[in-house]
């Protein structure tokens, strides 16, 4: 980021204001025409006040508007545009003919501006450094089952029994819905204590249900099963349970991999609604075959695991779920409560208006797909597609971090409908520096995983997971490893593309030797336009550097500089 302050003075505007005043006062010659005495009733015209323009306030206002525009762009994930606006916020001060070194207002604004932009840059780099994993929400099933096991569910009243009986008689279900007292009790709970939860789930699931039902229809599965995510996750793609089950269908990692879902350092397809639904369909079909078409047992196995349910049946000699669940001897209470919850959700979701819920029309989720040839920061995808990074992350929930994966060539990233052409056009003209936010490192003879991790100031476990190897793996000379690093955006864009090679080499050597010290410094480049009266010495003082460094950065052999010339200035800032 830029350092130093601005030089003072706004004499030009003051002088201009004085000229206007003198001109208004005019000469002293008297008019030769006799003055006419005004009529007694005529009041003198009020003197017009000339508004006084404060040039410093105006300059600060212009700078602030650019800064706020940069904040808005950064919030949307548009790093390139944000950088332009932040730079402009500073440049309008540097390019001003007034200067600001001795003006308290400008000096305060400039220093605060530099600090705030630096803070934003550090945050942006931390989010896109290739290590930061996105945040997840707690899976609702944990709370639902905890409440069910903590607070007893009361028997249903007569009105609930009558309403459900009448509904089941008129509404078609493709799974037999038992009118068990536990099922009816949860219908009542969902209408009262958990009403908001069910309403939110129905609303959130509306955009996914057409896709889920199409998949289940194609796989020959009952469509009632499409409502399982109401209880599992409330249709949240980023739901993560205490047991590390993830996604709308709450797959455990091993089960997900058994059914074709990729789970690694870059992506987790358990969070992708479409891919996870395909896997859920296969898993439900497997459970259905395992339990001879008994959907009660299938649902119990979906929650507690098929092995546990099979052992319970074998130990008890009971093959009816409701008889098996009538005692605490064989199945855990969570599973005994889970099955009636699912059936109650099916009842309400098939006919929500009947139970007092609002149905809001929502368009099914839709998107375009674009092949990206190399790993790319999601914020760059958002900016090039003309959308926000939040939208890109919503459409691509399987991506665990702020980058598309390195391992999958021609990865398909989802973008809003109608934006694929715009993104493809930017990809076609992109340079290699615009892509990867990750770095390849070739192992040298004798190097260990720990040594490589220390070299780049990262943890051994992160490097191991990124490369799908064990932390105990012995490295081979010539082996390529992925080393996540900061993307070429904002601060990184300025340093990686503009720092002279000898400075970059020293920086790299320093970071390898003392990573913590390197991490505490950030090097940025600015362009300074020489003004009349400037000398190399005065510019060096302004930016807290030396004449020798300025001459080295700009390839100058002498000390003469011309007004209007542009000089590169490198500045270090501790963080």
Shared-domain flag, residues 459 and 414? no
Which CATH number characterizes residue 508's domain?
Answer: 3.10.350.10
Domain containing 514 equals 499-575
| Both tokens assigned to 316 | 């008890």
Q: What is the C-alpha separation between 90 and 469, in angstroms, rounded?
A: 46
The pLDDT of residue 43 is 56
| Both tokens assigned to 80 | 């390139």
Decide: 487 and 128 in contact? Cβ < 8 Å: yes
Residue 35 inside a domain? The answer is no
The whole-angstrom distance between residue 500's C-alpha and the CA centroid of its chain comes to 32
Active site residues: 232
The pLDDT of residue 6 is 32
Residue 393 inside a domain? The answer is yes
The pLDDT of residue 538 is 73
Per the listing, tokens 């979906």 go with 302
Shared-domain flag, residues 145 and 285? yes
Residue 455 inside a domain? The answer is yes
Decide: 232 and 137 in contact? Cβ < 8 Å: no
Shared-domain flag, residues 161 and 212? yes
Decide: 164 and 179 in contact? Cβ < 8 Å: yes
Residue 99 inside a domain? The answer is yes
Which CATH number characterizes residue 56's domain?
Answer: 1.20.58
Contacts of 567 (CB under 8 A, 6+ apart): 527, 528, 529, 530, 539, 550, 553, 554, 561
Q: What is the C-alpha separation between 549 and 545, in angstroms, rounded?
A: 7
Q: What is the C-alpha separation between 95 and 63, in angstroms, rounded?
A: 11
Shared-domain flag, residues 504 and 449? no
The helix/strand/coil state of 358 is coil
Dihedrals phi, psi of 437, to nearest 5 degrees: -105, 15
Shared-domain flag, residues 239 and 263? yes
Shared-domain flag, residues 290 and 424? no
Residue 284 inside a domain? The answer is yes
User: Which of 83, 107, 129 marks a domain boundary?
Assistant: 129
Quick one: which of 574, 565, 571 has its CA closest to 4? 571
The pLDDT of residue 219 is 97
The pLDDT of residue 534 is 76
DSSP conformational letter for 434: G
Residue 377 inside a domain? The answer is yes
Residue 40 inside a domain? The answer is no
Shared-domain flag, residues 112 and 198? no
User: What would you report as the CA-atom Rg of the chain, rounded to the nearest whole angstrom?
Assistant: 34
Q: What is the C-alpha separation between 293 and 376, in angstroms, rounded?
A: 46
pLDDT tens for the chain, residues 1 to 575? 433 333 333 232 223 333 333 333 334 444 444 444 555 555 565 656 667 778 888 888 999 999 999 888 888 878 788 888 988 888 888 777 765 455 778 878 887 887 788 767 656 655 555 556 777 888 888 888 887 766 667 888 999 999 999 999 999 999 999 999 999 999 999 999 999 999 999 999 999 999 999 999 999 999 999 999 999 999 999 999 999 999 999 999 999 999 999 998 889 999 999 999 999 999 999 999 999 999 999 999 999 999 999 999 999 999 999 999 999 999 999 999 999 999 999 999 999 999 999 988 889 999 999 999 888 889 899 999 999 988 999 999 999 988 888 777 679 999 999 999 999 999 999 888 777 656 778 899 999 999 998 888 777 887 887 787 888 899 999 998 888 654 333 333 333 333 332 322 222 223 233 333 333 344 566 777 787 767 887 777 667 677 878 887 888 877 788 888 888 887 654 33
**Widest Cα–Cα separation across the chain:** 127
Q: What is the C-alpha separation between 550 and 372, in angstroms, rounded?
A: 40
User: Which of 453, 484, 515 marks a domain boundary?
Assistant: 484
CB atoms within 10 A of CB 213: 16
Shared-domain flag, residues 120 and 230? no
Shared-domain flag, residues 445 and 544? no
The pLDDT of residue 549 is 81
User: Which of 88, 108, 129 marks a domain boundary?
Assistant: 129
Shared-domain flag, residues 232 and 84? no
Strand 566-574 versus strand 521-529 pairing type: antiparallel
Which CATH number characterizes residue 413's domain?
Answer: 3.10.350
Contacts of 177 (CB under 8 A, 6+ apart): 168, 183, 224, 343, 346, 347
Decide: 343 and 156 in contact? Cβ < 8 Å: no
Quick one: which of 347, 380, 411, 406 has its CA closest to 128? 380
The pLDDT of residue 33 is 44
Residue 291 inside a domain? The answer is yes
Q: Indicate the number of domains in the chain.
A: 5
Shared-domain flag, residues 216 and 325? yes
Sign for the pseudo-dihedral over CA of 527, 531, 536, 539: negative
Q: What is the DSSP secondary-structure string of 197-212?
A: HHHHHHHHHTTTHHHH
First vs last Cα of the chain: how many Å apart? 12
Q: What is the C-alpha separation between 304 and 336, in angstroms, rounded?
A: 9
Shared-domain flag, residues 178 and 203? yes
Q: What is the C-alpha separation between 475 and 483, in angstroms, rounded?
A: 14
DSSP conformational letter for 263: B
Residue 103 backbone zone (phi > 0: left; psi -120 to 50: alpha; other: beta): beta
């Amino acid at each position: 980021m830029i350092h130093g302050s601005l030089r003072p003075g706004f004499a030009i505007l003051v002088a201009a204001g004085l000229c206007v005043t003198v001109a208004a006062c005019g000469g002293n010659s008297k008019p030769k025409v006799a003055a006419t005495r005004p009529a007694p009733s005529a009041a003198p015209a009020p003197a017009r006040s000339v508004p006084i323009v404060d040039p410093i306030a105006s300059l600060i206002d212009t700078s602030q508007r650019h800064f706020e525009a940069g904040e808005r762009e950064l919030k949307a994930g548009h790093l390139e545009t944000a950088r332009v606006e932040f730079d402009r916020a500073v440049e309008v001060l540097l390019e001003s003919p007034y200067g600001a070194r001795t003006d308290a207002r400008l000096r305060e604004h400039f220093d605060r501006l530099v600090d705030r932009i630096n803070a934003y840059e550090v945050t942006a780099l931390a989010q896109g450094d290739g290590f930061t994993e996105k945040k997840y929400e707690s899976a609702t099933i944990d709370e639902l089952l905890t409440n069910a096991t903590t607070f007893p569910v009361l028997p249903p009243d007569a009105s609930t029994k009558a309403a459900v009986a009448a509904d089941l008689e008129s509404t078609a279900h493709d799974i037999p819905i038992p009118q068990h007292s536990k099922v009816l009790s949860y219908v009542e709970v969902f209408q009262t204590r958990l009403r908001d939860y069910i309403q939110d789930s129905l609303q959130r699931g509306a955009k996914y249900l057409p896709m889920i039902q199409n998949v289940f229809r194609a796989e020959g599965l009952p469509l009632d099963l499409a409502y399982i995510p109401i209880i599992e996750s409330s249709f949240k793609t980023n739901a993560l349970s205490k047991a590390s089950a993830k996604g709308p269908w709450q797959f455990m990692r091993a089960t997900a991999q058994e059914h074709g879902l990729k789970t690694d350092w870059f992506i987790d397809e358990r969070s992708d609604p479409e891919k996870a639904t395909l896997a859920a369909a296969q898993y439900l079909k497997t459970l259905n075959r395992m339990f001879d078409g008994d959907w009660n047992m299938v649902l119990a196995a979906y929650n507690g695991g098929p092995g546990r349910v099979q052992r319970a049946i074998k130990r008890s000699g009971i093959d009816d779920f409701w008889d098996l669940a009538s005692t605490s001897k064989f199945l855990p209470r969570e599973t005994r409560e889970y099955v009636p919850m699912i059936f109650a959700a099916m009842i309400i979701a098939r006919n929500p208006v009947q139970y007092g819920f609002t149905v809001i029309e929502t368009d099914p989720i839709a998107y375009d797909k674009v092949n990206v040839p190399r790993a790319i920061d999601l914020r760059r995808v958002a900016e090039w597609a003309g959308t926000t990074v939040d939208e890109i992350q919503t459409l691509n929930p399987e991506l665990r971090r702020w980058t598309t994966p390195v391992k999958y060539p021609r990865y398909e990233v989802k973008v809003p409908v109608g934006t694929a052409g715009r993104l493809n056009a930017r990809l076609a003209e992109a340079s290699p520096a615009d892509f990867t936010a990750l770095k390849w490192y070739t192992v040298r003879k004798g190097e260990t995983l720990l040594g490589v991790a220390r070299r780049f100031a990262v943890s051994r476990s992160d490097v191991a997971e990124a490369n799908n190897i064990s932390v105990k793996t012995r490295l081979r000379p010539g082996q390529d490893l992925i080393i996540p690093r900061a993307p070429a955006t904002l601060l990184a864009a300025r340093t990686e593309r503009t720092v002279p090679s000898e400075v970059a080499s020293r920086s790299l050597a320093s970071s390898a030797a003392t990573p913590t010290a390197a991490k505490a410094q950030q090097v940025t480049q600015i362009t300074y336009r020489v003004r009349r009266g400037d000398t190399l010495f005065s510019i060096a003082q302004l930016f807290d550097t030396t004449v020798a460094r300025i001459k080295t950065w700009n390839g100058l052999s002498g000390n003469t500089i011309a007004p209007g010339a542009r000089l590169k200035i490198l500045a270090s800032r501790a963080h």
